[in-house]
Structure 1
């Protein structure tokens, strides 16, 4: 009889503890990992640390599970960030420091967190950064080309020289062709196109394209290059 009475007292204390704490802890439970049978509440198999946060009944527990799932759904469906972080100056700085699009994502996120800015509100991903940087380079190139005037040009000298340089998007080397014109004491870089092949034909096509884009076809009076086979073909 003594054992039965002690067991009943322990059970009452256990139920009181569960009733007192279930509202605070019900949201932390996983529905699939909890069994609502009364055997789980036995003092012989459950310790105090395991039962402090158990709900009183399965009905009350299930009602809390519904509220929790609704809260999780609200967080999951949060809209994507819409605040543009990229600017022309930032894009130029990334290019000057030779920072890849993927590394730029890590740097921008780290800086935003250091400045206590909510990262989820920002548009920060590799594709958007890559797209903005390409557009920024195109706008900058067009502005330079518009400011360049051919009216004061007399006779220009065309310079080019193929170089093997590291690709901007990887560690492999690619054929680059710097194209420069000089006129008296001034000079202008027309471009440094990447060539699929370092042949003389590919170089000639790239040079012709850049001269056409800059409107310089009728101004070239001399050419300057080294004596490699591709340049003299």
Structure 2
């Protein structure tokens, strides 16, 4: 050992002491020693053993990442035989990568590396390469397969390996006891599944010599193959039943709630399906142990929908110049009763096809009720500051001068908005007309001959005084339309409406 360290020190200075075997000198690893084809010993591997095996394997394969995996798998064999819980395999690979990078930095700067860093690294090489989980000791204490004496022995062994490293694995103490426990667990599982096993006499391990165990003991894969010898009656075909664990609150599982919404399964139907699945088990599941009822399903679905709605509102980015659309209809609900429902959309750049904000139930179709529902949806989606225009049909509940929804909505949002009136709905319903049928037009037609045609008063909006409120409104409208006309992504009907307004202004 002292000779190996002296050789490593000389190698660090850039000179190799001549030996009887030039091959050994050529393959010796800086600070580590000769590579090793396996990790031998009856103790948990040290950092030196891990690095020796790593360098041997990487020289053989040439694939460093695959070598990290292979080295970790070999080291985990020792820890599994000792029955000590470890960190994840990925965490082990990351820890081994950091160890190799530390060695690599010292190897690259061997001529100028600080002596204390090299000595500190050399002093740690023969210590345990600890990959134990933070709760490894607690895991041993909770192991029901171990007696109190075995638990104390395992904990003492782990603590010794992290310190003086005087203890070792041998005989029934470690490997054979672990094998026996695994065999008993497998036999018990098979017996509980199949229900009929022939009598079996497990091979006694007491006669095994109490000798140190080397690393080339059978791996877990080989142990799995040998353990099949104590499992009589194993079927070649798959068993008709499988063991699964179901949560007691199965109706609250996100996957089940999402499936019910996607397939439009009612609360009664989902409860019936889950109950039928539980009763199909062997033995049949006790429904009283699960929380399944129509009311539970209803609460679970409502909670799921609230979560989905909140997530969608959180991810929504309103357009900078948004147009709000709304319309209400009298529809039948699930119990067959008629009720008013109001759909509220928002459109703009990035949402050319429109984004549905809500379909709210309203008590009636009055302008105030529609305005309140629309304002509530806008506030819920946090886009009130982005709303610049309103799009609505020409019903009196919307266009009323005093009680119209537009007037109330502007008051609720505390700002004036551009009004985009949709008249296509009326023409689609009533068709095209060749003459005025509105009572006001009919009255004007009848009294047209009685009017004084010499006193026409033309409203010249373009030449109104600057102080006039109508002139101020015209300037604001023209400025806004001139700005939004330059933006892309608007619907064709809006573009035509803006161009027409600008042309007539």
TM range (shorter): 0.5 to 0.7
Match in the other structure for 2:388: 221
Aligned residues: 150
Distance 1:93 1:201, change over 3 A: farther
Structural mapping, 1:127-166, within 5 Å: 127-150=295-318, 153-166=319-332
1:185 CA displacement: 4.2
Cα distance in 2, alignment partners of residues 219 and 202 from structure 1: 22
| Structure with larger RCO (C-alpha < 8 A, sep 6+) | 1
What does 1:6-17 align with in structure 2 at a 5 Å threshold?
Answer: none
Tell me, in whole angstroms, the C-alpha distance in 1 between the residues paired with 2:255 and 2:338.
Answer: 28
1:96 & 1:174 partners in 2: Cα distance? 25
1:123 aligns with 2:123: no
Any stretches of 5+ residues in structure 1 without a counterpart? 1-80
Deviation at 1:127, TM superposition (A): 1.4
Which residue of the partner structure matches residue 177 of structure 1? 342
Give TM-score scaled by structure 2 length.
0.28
1:126-153 per-position Cα deviation (integer Å, ceiling 9, x unaligned)? 1111111111111111111111124xx3
Task: State the distance in 2 between where 1:201 and 1:207 align.
Answer: 10
Higher-Rg member (1/2): 2
Provide the alpha-carbon RMSD of the alignment. 2.4
Question: Structure 1, residues 16-62: CA drift from partner, whole Å, max 9, x if none?
Answer: xxxxxxxxxxxxxxxxxxxxxxxxxxxxxxxxxxxxxxxxxxxxxxx
- The verdict on how the C-alpha distance between 1:93 and 1:181 changes in structure 2, with shifts beyond 3 A counting, is same
1: distance between equivalents of 2:247 and 2:254?
18
Counterpart Cα distance in 1 of 2:389 and 2:332: 30
CA distance in 1, matches of 2:342, 2:391: 13
The structure where strand makes up a greater share of residues is 1
Q: Helix, strand or coil: the match of 2:384?
A: coil
Q: Does 1:230 align with 2:230?
A: no
Question: 2: CA distance between counterparts of 1:146 and 1:97?
Answer: 25
Shift of 1:157: 0.8
Note closer, same or farther for the CA distance 1:204–1:90 as it changes in structure 2 (3 Å cut): same
1:164–1:114 Cα change, 3 Å: farther
Of 87, 95, 106, the residue aligned with 2:272 is: 106
- Distance in 2 (CA, whole Å) between partners of 1:228 and 1:212 is 25
Query: Aligned-pair distance for 1:196?
Result: 2.2
Partner of 2:378: 211
Q: Describe the shift of the 1:196–1:115 C-alpha distance in structure 2 as closer, same or farther (beyond 3 A).
A: farther
Moved more, 94-103 or 171-180: 94-103
The one of 241, 249, 257 equivalent to 1:91 is 257
How far the C-alpha of 1:212 sits from its partner, in A, is: 1.2
Q: Call closer, same or farther: CA 1:96–1:231 in 2, change over 3 Å.
A: farther
Q: Distance in 1 between matches of 2:290 and 2:261?
A: 21
**Partner Cα separation in structure 2 for residue 164 and residue 108 of structure 1:** 36
The answer to whether the Cα contact below 8 Å between 1:177 and 1:203 also exists between their aligned partners in 2 is: yes
SS of equivalent residue, structure 2 residue 385: coil
**Alpha-carbon shift at residue 110 of structure 1 (Å):** 2.5
Structure 2 residues not aligned, in runs of 5+: 1-245, 405-505
Q: Per the alignment, do residues 172 and 148 of structure 1 end up closer, same or farther by CA in structure 2, a change over 3 Å counting?
A: same
* TM alignment of 1:33-72, pairs within 5 A: none
Whole-angstrom CA distance in 2 between matches of 1:166 and 1:99: 20
Q: Which residue of 2 aligns with 1:70?
A: none
Pair 93,177 (structure 1): closer, same or farther in 2 beyond 3 Å: farther
In 1: Cα distance, 2:262 partner to 2:329 partner: 20
Pair 1:167-2:333 in alignment: yes
TM-score using structure 1 length = 0.56
